[in-house]
Each structure stands twice: as C-alpha cells, then as structure tokens.
Amino acid sequence: MYDPEIPINVVDLGLIYDLRIDPLPDGRSKVLVQMALTAQGCGMGPSIARDAQLRIEALPGVTEAEVRVVWDPPWTPEMMSPEGKRQLGVE
C-alpha cells in the first residue's frame, strides 16, 4: 500500500508503528495495526486506514483487521527505511 501523495509504500515510509496478530479459536487471525501519517492535517487519514484494513482483511487466514491512526510519536523523515530514503533521494 502506498501513501497517496508520496509514491513509497507505507512500510518504507516508516508509517507502521505496531503490528499485532492475535490467533482466534477458529484458527484464523485478527490483525491490529497502529500507523501514523506524514502530516496530522492529512484529510486522507480515514481513507488510508480503511484501505489498509480492507487489504489486510483480504489476506488468507485473516478474519478481521483494525487499523488505528496514531500520532505519538509524531512521524519524521528519519523513520523511513533506507530503501524509502533512497527512493526519495534523501540518503
């Protein structure tokens, strides 16, 4: 999944802060993701979170997903992976 304004995936942007997979009694899983956005005023936040939720729920073995947008700690460019920095030319 890519940020709609920056053509880099949300993992390489450093927007994924936490990922938890909880096994359910039926052998499937519930996934909880905490993610940030590059700017708190981003009006796309709910749309990005919903898109991530739908993509996770489409994965084999996943019954449900919850994606929470969090602001602590605030995102900074230093959180990007080396690959994300390379793609943006900010190595």
User: How sure is the predictor about 80, in pLDDT bands with cuts at 50, 70 and 90?
Assistant: very high
Could you tell me the domains of the chain? 1-74 (3.30.300.130)
Residue range 29-53: mean pLDDT, rounded: 91
pTM for the full predicted model:
0.86
CB 12 within 8 Å of CB 86: no
Structure tokens at 5: 């304004």
Give me the pLDDT at residue 42, please. Answer: 79
User: How sure is the predictor about 14, in pLDDT bands with cuts at 50, 70 and 90?
Assistant: very high
Residue percentage of the chain with pLDDT more than 90: 74
d(CA 49, CA 66): 9
